[in-house]
Structure formats: structure tokens, C-alpha cells
Amino acid sequence: MANATEKILITGALGQIGSELTNKLVELHGAENVIATDIQKFDKNHTNAGFYERMDVSNTALVQQIVKDYEITTVYHLASLLSGTSEKNPQFAWKLNVEPLLNFLEMAKEGKLKKIFWPSSIAVFGRGIPKENVGQEVVLNPSTVYGISKLAGEKWCEYYHEKFGVDVRSIRYPGLISWKTPAGGGTTDYAVEIYYEAVEKGKYTSFISENTAMPMLYMDDAIDATLQLMAAPSESISVRTSYNLGGMSFTPKELASEIKNIIPEFEIDYQPDFRQAIADSWPASIDDAVAKKDWGLKYQYGIKEMSEDMISNLRKKLCHS
Ligand code: SER
């Protein structure tokens, strides 16, 4: 049941995750308790939160003022630069992906916030571990700018929890697939683009090679997992860095064949770009037993159900019959 006194702030609320999570939080807590923020101008198609603030998360003073003015208790801090974009602008990625998180952690330490959700990523993994079934507690050795920033963020979360009792919770999201709001700049985003182009053009050129498997998750399952984690009693959260989430694993070739079952004329070819090296540095599959045990993680969508849902929604959205 929703906590009546909970006041929720979302950063990156117009992004791929934010746009869907915000509306779900509105359903659960009421529009008057949800404050959506993003660096973009307000877009009423993307949020039905009770309040919208145009906010750059790097503006520490503004963020603190908004938290105070709305008497925020809970933050979902989603604003971030994804892996591909981070490689092109390392310093900005570090600044955006780490410093605003520290600002929220400090506010929580000072008692100005009660609970924080912050997304990490499979990008924290890297060299020196097996590709398959990567467990919760392995050596983290990322080779990308994005992975470095997420690993640092995870350690800051754990530090603030251990030293100051800050209630911060996190998930290492795999690639997230959704049809409502496009992603931007991620390595796993081929698995979103492929559906748009399959529906619009009947063909797709993948920037990831045909046999590269990566862990992926349908947005509905990602939102459910996030809300489940945030609703769990604090004592059951044994991981204060970030929880592994495996979702499903597939290659571009396997995804293309699933799409062909629905759109038989669909064609794919492959032209790997710089993101191939990023994908090669990530696991092919993830073991998420700890999240299952601690807070009951489960999934509804496999590759088939996801493909059917994506294509039928994109057909409506993109005006195809
Ligand atoms: N989807 C992200 C990316 O590719 C991974 O967390 O950047």
C-alpha cells in the first residue's frame, strides 16, 4: 500500500525509464505526491505527475531547493549518460553520472531525504570474469567510462549506507527494451532500434555483431523489479552496492529470428561500430539469485512475449495496421 506521506522526486523523468516509472508511481501514490524533473522542457505526453520542474541535476543548489520546497522523502535518480555517449564525452559523463548522486546521498545523510533509488548497470562488469552467469560478488573491472562511473556510484551508495545508515537501493539494469520512449546512446539499444525499424522499414542494420549475447529486460519487468526493491523492508536488503538482474540473454541473430516469426519479410545485416568493443567487455548472462532471494524478483516477459508486445504497440504508435 502507498505510504500517504511519501513525496517522490524523479530525475530524468522524461527518459526511457523515467517516463514509464513516473506514471506508475502516480498510479501508486497519487499525482500530487509525484514531482517529475528533467533537463528537457515539459512534455505532457510523457508524464502525468502532479508537478514538473525543469532541473539540471548538476545544479546542486537548485536540486536542494526543490527537495526542500516539495518536502521530498524519496528520490528516483535516473538522469544519466549511457555507455555509447559516455565514451564520447568522458569528463561530462563522470560529472553527470556521479556528482548529483553524491548530492542526494549527502542530503539523505543530513536527514533531508529518507530513501534513494539509483540505477547501476551490467557495465560495472569487465575483464577477468567468465562471460556466462555472472554472480553478484565478482571482481568488477569495467573498461568503459560508463562502467567506471557506475562502479564508483555503487561504492558511494554502499559507503553512505554503511557509514551513515542512508537507505539507498540499486539495481544493475541489463539492456532495457521498451516502445513508449526511445532510449539514447546505449550499447544495448540495438535491441530497441531493431523493433522500430522492423515495423517501419522491414529491415535493420545492427551495430552489434550477430553472435554477441547480452542480458536484456523488458521495461514492464524493470519497473516491477524497481518498485519491488523499493517496497522491500530495509532488513531484507543485503546488497547496498547494486543488485544483479539477469532478465533474458540473446544475440542480435536470435532476436532477428524472433522478429521474423511475426514479420516474415524482416531482414537484418550487421555493421558493428565502436559499441561492439563495449558489448564484448560485458557479460553474456547474469545470475540474479540474490535479488530473487532477498526481495522476490521475478519476470513476466521472455523474448517471445516481449517481441509480440513491442511489435503490436509499435504498429499502433507508428500508425501501421
Ligand atoms: N543499456 C545500457 C547501455 O547500453 C547498459 O546499462 O548503456
Please report, for residues 16, 76, 244, the alpha-carbon distance to residue 290 in angstroms, rounded to integers and kept in the order given: 26, 22, 8
Report pTM.
0.96
- Domain 178-216+248-284+301-320 grouped into CATH 3.90.25.10: yes
Do 13 and 49 touch, CB atoms closer than 8 A?
A: yes
Which atom of ligand 1 lies nearest, measured to the CA of 185? 7
- Which of 188, 244, 282 has most ligand 1 atoms within 8 Å of its beta carbon, as the pocket-test mutant? 188
Do 43 and 19 touch, CB atoms closer than 8 A?
A: no
Please report, for residues 52, 89, 108, 194, 296, the alpha-carbon distance to residue 7 in angstroms, rounded to integers and kept in the order given: 13, 34, 14, 37, 25
The pocket around ligand 1, CB under 6 angstroms, is made up of 82-83, 121-123, 146, 173, 175, 186-188
Question: How far is Cα of residue 300 from the mean position of the Cα atoms in its chain?
Answer: 17
User: Where in the chain do CATH 3.40.50.720 domains reside?
Assistant: 8-174+217-244
Residue 214: helix, strand or coil by DSSP?
strand
Tell me the mean pLDDT in the region 216-225.
Answer: 98
- Which of 80, 82, 172, 226 has most ligand 1 atoms within 8 Å of its beta carbon, as the pocket-test mutant? 82
The predicted pLDDT at position 1 comes to 46
Known catalytic residue: 52?
no
pLDDT at residue 16 tops 70: yes
Which atom of ligand 1 lies nearest, measured to the CA of 187? 4
Q: What is d(CA 83, CA 88) in angstroms, rounded to the nearest whole number?
A: 9
When pLDDT is cut at 50, 70 and 90, the band that residue 47 belongs to is confident
Tell me the mean pLDDT in the region 277-300.
Answer: 97
The CATH code of the domain at 8-174+217-244 is: 3.40.50.720
Q: Give residue-wise pLDDT tens across range 129-155.
A: 999 999 999 999 999 999 999 999 999
User: Where in the chain do CATH 3.90.25.10 domains reside?
Assistant: 178-216+248-284+301-320
Nearest CA residue ID for atom 6, ligand 1:
121
Strands 175-177 and 214-218: parallel
Q: Which of 52, 76, 146, 195 is catalytic?
A: 146
- Which is higher by pLDDT, 183 or 118? 118
Which atom of ligand 1 lies nearest, measured to the CA of 119? 6
Give the distance (Å) from ligand 1 centre to CA of residue 244.
14
End-to-end Cα spacing for the chain: 39
